[in-house]
Structure 1
Amino acid sequence: MTKILTPLLGVLLLFSGVYTHAQTVIEGKVTDSSTGDPIPFANVVIKGSSVGSTTDFDGFFKIKGDAESDTLVVSYIGYERKEKRYEKGVSQVLNFQLNPEATNLGDFVIVAGKQENPAFPIMRQIIENKNRNDKRSLDAYQYTSYNKIEVDVDNITDKLREKKFMKRITSVLDSIETIAGEDGKPILPLFISESLSDFYYRSEPRLQKEYVRNTKITGVGLEDGSLISQVIGSSFQQYNFYQNRMNIVDKEFASPIGDGWRLLYDYELQDSLYIDDDYCYLLEFQPKNDQELAFTGKMWITKNEFALKRIDVTMAKTANINFIEKIKIQQELDRTETGPWLPVKSRILVDVAELTNNSAGFLAKFYSSNQNLQVTKPKPTSFYERGIELAEEAVTNSEDFWAQHRHEKLSPTEVNVIAMIDTLNNIPFVKTWTEIMKTAARGYVEVGMFDIGPIPLTISGNNVEGWRGRLGGRTNENFSKKWQFNGYGAYGLDDKKWKYGFGAKYIIDRKKWTTISANYRTDIDQFGVQVNPLTSIAEGSAFIALTSLGDLVRPFYYDRAQVEFARQFSRAFSASVSLRNQNFTPLFDFRYRKELNRVDSPLGTDFTTTETIVRLKYARDETFLINDNNRISLGTLRWPIFMLSYTRGFKGPINGDFDYNKVDIAVSQTLKMGFWGNMSYQINAGHIFDEVPYPLLTAHIGNESIVYTDIAFNTMDFYEYVSETYGSLKLQHKFEGFILNRIPLIKKLKWRLVGTGSMLFGGVSESTLAVQVLEDENGNPLPQFGTLKPSKPFTEVGIGIENILKFFRVDYVRRLTYLDQPRVRKSTIKVSFDISL
């Protein structure tokens, strides 16, 4: 028996070995030729057979088996099909790079009849089960997040290569081909970052926090500063398709599984298949209106839960959005132990178009991987006070550390990117231009421990000072992370007066952002621009720059000393208290009674105020970033901002001339209205409780320039009205493409409609009017001010077109009340320069 079995076993082993050796195994990766990014979910099959596979989220595939054909075919929606020959009976690696299709997808064909579109029952089940599957239904969850961002220059034309400045980096450009691959397009990398963080969420109240543990940044002219380290994490890569509208590049995109799915999208059921252990329906979709902010793509829906398992979407090229050629989002989700699904991998591509035929474009690529997903109990609300918190020693450049902690290793392309950026940083020409660009963005020139500027204020001119030169600066974080000193000096050629200022700020606590500051200034200003303590206009704003040139409106010199303490008590609540002493020296005809209630009081021109100002602010979901020694607010997402200010003026103790009490309140919010656009409103009100000279009342800001601004009343003259008691409402509704996108010829222009309206109630009491001086000491009439009737508001409405040639906005504003005033402008046309996506 043994003699028979031994040769038989040998024969079987021989045939087994031959069979094993003859089996075909093909593995590889499918990538986008224009970006180098992997293409997940692509179909990879042997031509004319059913032997095949799909790529995973990272673009990899593996096929085992044989067929009659020796050709492998790769295809995916939005890309040109590609074929390659393979060798039978061996293991081999075949990589594919697919070219994006030049044309859009054709329309879905919907056949009329009694039979319902088979995709619709699935869609209804998705909507019915949204709350059960949406991660927002969890009380709390947390995970570890690894994030990677890369920014590149793409579409580098031959003509651009011939430019003089580009020839200086020819040695780098010659090696670009190694980044994109054999079929890829050349790109020039500018930035790549990695971060590792812990992300936390709770639903009631809805709060989130990211603790950034480690970061690594490699960029042209960039350092791993605290600001950049805070924005490369998971907080800015949250994409939830269960929301009806998703905020992407500050635009509201309609989700294909939003409640309005049937109005906005067409659907087609393509297939059903297993993904891991989940049996899924494959649905394709595209927007009904090609200019809608919506997506074309595919999604895989689980049969049992009707949950989103995978999704791959691309913004339509014809969508009404500026400067963006393509937005692509790919996401894979896993079920949590309690039911709702959390994203485990996300990849986002934003392709910024070339501004001109001779310029290049940009690619921004984001990758996020989440592990250790945990459904937890909500942490105390105090835990979420800092929405983004950076570890003390977050910068970790050790390659050993990142090799151990990355959720996936760097691709050869990304390794080449890092090497090329290091090479670019050592080119003198690149160093020079990156410093120039940094200066333009900051407004300051960094010189070691000091920032010199602001640059835009260096040279200016007006009717009082003539040409004015200014030189100033401040210390930066290289000097100290606790102390910041600032100062400036200025001189007017006509008034021959020096103006100057200096100050200091001490950061007591960065976590609760507690500061104390003191400053002194002697300078010139114009009346009525910075009166309201809640709506003071920033010094460097475009409106201030415009109104400070040419003829100043009721200008005055001032000397001001101020001390302020400010603290962020919680994520929502902050407060400040300041003590201010200011001298007012008018350069226009003005008199006041030194004893207000005496008609025979001696008259004065200059006066001094001593004030204590308390400001309170409540902003429920406001997010902040720490930028070196300063803090930047990113605003709120869903809740209004409430502000209250109380001003107490003192007479006597520190040379103050008046006693008074003043209260101001403000409420503002931007409402994301999805399909209908965005509406912003601002409500202001205030009252001064004591009789004072009119420069201490509230002067409402008019606008006599040709430039539109939402800061002012655009049909009101400068200093036309002053109020003791006031209340105002400003509205602006940006319809985006809601109306004009539906007009056949107009929609090609991609214009967007804007509606505006302003209403102001105000007035001055008889007792306050009685203390005003109407004539000077010689009986000559003095310039006066206008007052509103309490029962008759100042009202104006407007309609505008924005996105004209992508950069301009034109508004027609009509004044509806107080039309009988002298020099009144019943209507006006304003223009503005507006860069928006």
Structure 2
Amino acid sequence: MNHHLLNYAPIRTALLFCGLLLLICSLANAQTTTVTGIITDGGNKQPLPFANVVFVGTTIGTTTNERGGYTLTGTGNFTQIAISFIGYKSIIKAITPGVSQELKVSLSADSQLLNEVVIRSGKRERYRNKNNPAVELIRNVISHKEQNQIGNYAYAAYEEYDKLQFSLSSLSNKVSERKIFQKYRFLLDNRDTTTLPGKSLLPVYLEEKLADHYYRKSPQKDKIIVKGNKRVDFGQYFDNNGLSLYLNRMYSKVDIYSNSIFLMTNQFLSPIASSAPTFYQYFLADTITIDKTKLVGLNFVPRNTSDMLFEGKMYVTLDSNYAVQKINLSVNPRINLNWVRDLQIHLQFEQNTDGRYYLSKSDLLADFGITKGKGGGIFGQRTLSYRNYKTGDARPDSFYEGQEQIVAADAASKPEQFWSTNRHDTLSTAESKVYTNIDSLKRMPSFRRTMEAFTFILAGYKSFGPFEVGPANTFYSFNPVEGFRLRLGGRTTPELSKRYYAETYAAYGFKDQRWKYFLSGTYSLNNKSIYQFPQNYVRASFQRDTKIPGQELQFVQEDNFLLSFKRGVNDKWLYNDTWRIDYVHEFENHFSYSLGFKNWQQSPAGALQFKRPGDDTNTPSPSLTTSEFSVEARWAPNEQFYQGKIYRVPIVGRYPVFTLRFASGIKGLFHGGYSYENLTGTISKRFFLSQLGYTNVTAQGGYIFGQVPFPLLTIHRANQTYAYQLNSYNLMNFLEFVSDHYASLSIDHSFNGFFFNKIPLLKKLKWREAVSFKALYGGLRSENDPSQHPSLYQFPVDDSGVPYTYTLNRTPYLEASAGVSNVLKFFRIDLVKRLNYLDHPNVSQWGIRARATFDF
């Protein structure tokens, strides 16, 4: 993700999210009571972890950490807190409402309660895994994980109800009384004070889904049939599918039996992961009996409080299953998470008729805010519940064929009677009003004007109904060939037609005094937006514009204003006239193919020349024309997307992505000057390494068959901007290396703060470390070497006649970097080192590059 990618959907969503937080914080003005302190044993003065602290008369409470410390915050007129811990006498202490205060408390042992405790040590000894009964118990849980998972059965089925809601939290009551908000009273008065005791919540988003899930073990396959799907619709200002996907990814389903749990763009190690005893400490707490089943309470905390780990308590059965019956998870306030004030996960399991425990309910709650203390924020909750578990329900193989998820034709139009009958949980009064309130809100002219302004600022487009103008970041730019450049363009929207789309722009360079322009027309074959998955369209286009050889950009236009700033010499450009016709077809299983034809006329611009040996220096450089047919196949199993206004950006997941492209040039067709074949293959995959972060690996190779001049060779992707580009060589100059066959490897690893979290200053800054390595090996066959074939264009040289373009010979090009991410929560800064070919002119051995990122 480059620093100029403000059109990139998740960053734009993040900016809108942060802007909303700023607005909320400025409006929040509620009275808050905060109590902090330490709870200790009155006898030995040792801290008591996991003691309960609550405001008297409420359910607002917390537990002490492994050091006995606690922080209890709530909005209200609280005058007392109650402290309790099993084996000790509970006490009540007076507090002052509406202020922050510190209260240290010592608890006295209760002999009657102590008789009920299985294990409790009055002396705090050094923690060890060896001979630790708590660790022995957790190892039994780990060894029985497989038998307690649904995947242990040949066939299984269940019904799932999924509810996701977001609310504005801690908004002051004075907000709705202000004159400017009077017209929004119907929305602001819809408060919920029961879901999160001590906080006033204003629901603004709600999504519900009811589905039947089917599982087959061998060969492993899932089948999901969505019976009902309902969500808040914000209209044209948000991509509702993209917003839903983004929020569901943040609030991923929690499987405690998986080694890693993905939440808020981060991986957390499960407390019952195979390696969990290395990273967690475990303490036996108590025993309880539920329905004649004896359960052991087990507290767990991270060994390092800043690692991506949970703390909390679980109850484990002592029968042959060693199953988790209930678990509560939270995170330490010191954890390296952005924006998250509090995170709570509650999982409940019920015993089925076969004696096994299956997940019956999952509740994930998170409170977001710019500051860790008081003030407004955003509260999100995802609740999943499960019913009608069936094991051994065999179905024919034909049932599992086709796409994994099938959505019923009437899923989005189910009547309210369907939902009131089939919901596993009833909606709160405030939740039940969200759908109609947002429908009313989006029809208000003032709301539409505000959202149009946000859309223009963040997406760069100003909508006029069936047509929108933009993107704004290309209106002005500059470069050595065109000088000062102005551009204006736009495109049609689905409001005009869902089948026909047009896009155009015109640009003018004041230095070269040339007009550039683009025009395209697209026909959607499946009557869906061409920006939505699955795509199926035909597009024809013509473009007359400039281009830098070897600059390949993703998700951004070349005349983006921020790309105007470049290092080094940047005077070798191309004028292009490109006619294209493309057909793109995607399938539900995420296989896609495209067919294309391109007629491309290249003319040198700036200091670039197309010259053969013996050409007169006064002779104008010729143009190069090719006619090319291409076919490309892409397979990205289980791929998901962030849907944006300009680009649909794939979400990097754990599955590999395969791409294979073949192009063939036809000599003599529409003045095409060369016959050739170009084959390129790419494999990319993200490897998740739990506490050590994740690694993005991309391998690519290409081969050109036939004799071609250097503009048709592979001009390797270079970067002379100050932004770090993942798919380019960041210290390579434009046009520096060309090949007719090559192989490349790119490795980018994020440690996600694993080491920095153990260094005091860096731990406080919440920086995260990253490293990358790139290698490019290639070569040039003699038939494409202009020094051996005078009929080919010579490689470019600089003003002094020194060669500017090279081949890789027998030595690969190598580049490495070490970076710091999460700087100011939005930026990654890399120190890049070029490892070889340092004798080339105008190269930099070192460089600092930055790019914008967004992670929690």
SS of 1:213's equivalent?
Answer: strand
- Measured in 2, the distance between the counterparts of 1:509 and 1:277 equals 59
Indicate which of 806, 809, 812 corresponds to 1:790. Answer: 809
Confirm or deny: 8 A CA contact 2:168 2:201 kept in the other structure.
yes
Instruction: Confirm or deny: 8 A CA contact 2:548 2:734 kept in the other structure.
Output: no
Please name the residue that 2:626 is paired with: 609
- Alignment of 1:766 with 2:782, yes or no, is yes
**Maintained 8 Å contact 1:387/1:624:** no
Residue of structure 2 equivalent to 1:501:
519
Task: Name the residue aligned to 2:413.
Answer: 396
Task: Call closer, same or farther: CA 1:359–1:647 in 2, change over 3 Å.
Answer: farther
Shift of 1:798: 1.7
| Cα deviation, residue 590, structure 1 | 5.3
Q: 1:649 to 1:355 in 2, by over 3 A?
A: farther
Q: Are residue 127 (structure 1) and residue 145 (structure 2) matched?
A: no
The verdict on how the C-alpha distance between 1:519 and 1:164 changes in structure 2, with shifts beyond 3 A counting, is farther
Distance 1:572 1:104 in 2: 58
Q: Deviations over 1:43-84 (max 9, x none)?
A: xxxxxxxxxxxxxxxxxxxxxxxxxxx999997646969679
Pairing 1:826–2:845 present: yes
Aligned twin of 1:144: 159
Change in Cα spacing, 1:207 to 1:711, as seen in structure 2 (3 Å) is same
Q: Does structure 2 retain, via aligned residues, the 8 Å contact 1:788–1:794?
A: no
| One of 171, 182, 191 as aligned partner of 2:205 | 191
For 2:473, the aligned partner's letter is P
SS in 2 for 1:720: coil
Determine which of 787, 803, 819 is the counterpart of 2:822: 803
Q: Which residue of 2 aligns with 1:584?
A: 602
Q: Does 1:460 align with 2:477?
A: yes
Q: Which residue of 1 aligns with 2:37?
A: none
Structure 1 residue identity aligned to 2:545 = I
Which secondary structure does the structure 1 equivalent of 2:818 belong to? strand
Alignment match, 2:651: 634
Residues 395 and 585 of structure 1: CA distance in aligned 2, closer, same or farther (over 3 Å): same
SS state at 2:156 partner:
strand
Contact map agreement 1:190 1:220 (CA 8 A) in 2: no
Alpha carbons of structure 1 residues 788 and 693: separation in structure 2 relative to 1, 3 Å: closer
* Larger displacement relative to structure 2 (275-284 or 732-741): 275-284
Q: Out of 281, 284, 288, which is 1:269 matched to?
A: 284
Name the TM-score, length of structure 2 as normaliser. 0.76
How far does the alpha carbon of each residue in 1:311-355 deviate from its partner, in whole angstroms, 9 at most, with x for none?
Answer: 111122111121222221111223556676542211111221226
One-letter amino acid of the counterpart of residue 632, structure 2 = R
> Secondary structure of the equivalent of 2:136?
helix
How do residues 165-244 of structure 1 correspond to structure 2 at under 5 angstroms? 171=185, 175=189, 179=193, 184-204=198-218, 206-218=220-232, 225-227=240-242, 237-244=252-259
Displacement, 1:291?
Answer: 0.3
Q: Secondary structure at the match of 1:658?
A: coil
1:541 positional shift: 6.1
Q: Which has the larger radius of gyration?
A: 1
**Equivalence map 1:634-653=2 (5 Å):** 634-637=651-654, 639-653=655-669
**2:465 is aligned with 1:444:** no
CA contact (8 A) 1:623 1:633 kept: yes
Q: Which amino acid aligns with 1:518?
A: R
Pick the aligned partner of 1:561 from 579, 582, 585.
579
2:303 and 2:832 map into 1 onto residues whose CA distance is 35
- Confirm or deny: 8 A CA contact 2:480 2:571 kept in the other structure: no
Q: 1:519 aligns with which of 540, 552, 569?
A: 540
Unaligned runs of at least 5 residues, structure 1: 1-33, 35-69, 85-97, 531-535
Are the aligned partners of 2:361 and 2:383 in contact in 1 as well (CA < 8 Å)?
yes
Is structure 2 residue 336 aligned with structure 1 residue 315?
Answer: no
Structure 2 partner of 1:259: 274
Residue identity matched to 2:501: Q
Code of the residue aligned with 1:299 in structure 2: it is M
The one-character-per-residue Cα deviations of 1:740-784 (angstroms, maximum 9, x if unpaired) are 1122343222221111111111222232113465679xxx99785
Cα drift, residue 805 of structure 1: 2.8
Output one character per residue of 1:16-45: Cα deviation in whole Å (capped at 9) or x when no partner: xxxxxxxxxxxxxxxxxx9xxxxxxxxxxx
Residue 421 of structure 1: how far off its partner (Å): 4.6
Picking from 461, 465, 488, the partner of 2:505 is 488
1:370 aligns with 2:391: no
Deviation at 1:571, TM superposition (A): 2.0
Higher relative contact order (CA 8 A, sep 6+): 2
What is the number of residues matched between the two proteins?
A: 745
Q: Which moved more, 1:488-497 or 1:341-350?
A: 488-497
2:680 matched to 1:661? no
CA contact (8 A) 2:239 2:644 kept: no
Counterpart CA distance in 2 for 1:529 and 1:393 is 49
Counterpart Cα distance in 2 of 1:74 and 1:681: 46
Aligned-residue offset at 1:802: 1.7
Q: Which amino acid aligns with 2:625?
A: T
AA aligned to 2:264 is: V
Following the alignment from structure 1 to structure 2, what is the Cα–Cα distance between the partners of residues 347 and 104?
32
In 1, the alpha carbon distance for the partners of 2:426 and 2:463 equals 36
- Residue 836 of structure 2 corresponds to 817
Q: Distance in 2 between matches of 1:628 and 1:379?
A: 42
Aligned equivalents of 2:770, 2:198: Cα separation in 1? 42
Q: Is the 8 A contact 2:461 2:471 kept in 1?
A: yes
Q: Is the alpha carbon distance of 1:733 and 1:82 closer, same or farther for their aligned partners in structure 2, counting shifts above 3 Å?
A: same
Task: Specify the alignment match of 1:671 in structure 2.
Answer: 687
What is the aligned-residue RMSD (CA, Å)? 4.4
Q: Read off the aligned partner of 2:541 and give its amino acid letter.
A: Y
State the TM-score, normalizing by the size of structure 1. Answer: 0.78
CA apart distance, 1:212: 3.2
Q: Equivalent residue of 2:785, what SS?
A: helix
Retained in 1: the 8 A contact 2:662–2:680? yes
SS at match of 1:499: strand
Aligned-residue offset at 1:246:
0.8
- Structure 1 residue aligned with 2:304: 289
Q: 1:501 corresponds to which letter in structure 2?
A: L
- Deviation at 1:173? 8.1
Distance in structure 2 (CA, Å) of the matches to 1:185 and 1:525: 56
Alpha-carbon distance change, 266 to 230 in structure 1, aligned in 2, over 3 angstroms? closer
Distance 1:518 1:149, change over 3 A: same
Q: Which amino acid aligns with 1:186?
A: S
Q: Is the 8 A contact 2:261 2:267 kept in 1?
A: yes
Alpha carbons of structure 1 residues 349 and 487: separation in structure 2 relative to 1, 3 Å: same
| Secondary structure of 1:497 counterpart | strand
Name the aligned partner's letter for residue 521 of structure 2: G
Amino acid at match of 2:712: L
Supply the distance in 2 between the matched residues of 1:696 and 1:431 (Cα, whole angstroms). Answer: 49
Q: Which residue of 2 aligns with 1:574?
A: 592
Aligned to 2:666, the other structure's residue is in SS state strand
Distance 1:166 1:308, change over 3 A: farther
Indicate if the aligned counterparts of 1:134 and 1:340 stay in contact, CA closer than 8 A: no
2:350 alignment partner in structure 1: 334
For 1:110 and 1:263, how far apart are their aligned partners in 2?
Answer: 20
Q: Find the aligned partners of 2:558 and 2:854 in 1 and give their Cα distance.
A: 14
Q: Percent identity?
A: 25
Question: Match of 1:620, SS?
Answer: coil
Does structure 1 conserve the Cα–Cα contact (< 8 Å) formed by 2:227 and 2:408? Answer: yes
Q: Which amino acid aligns with 2:812?
A: P
Instruction: State the secondary structure of the residue aligned to 1:746.
Output: helix
Deviation at 1:287?
1.1
Shift in Å, 1:190: 1.9
For the residue of structure 1 that corresponds to 2:232, the secondary structure is strand
1:679 shift after superposition: 1.0
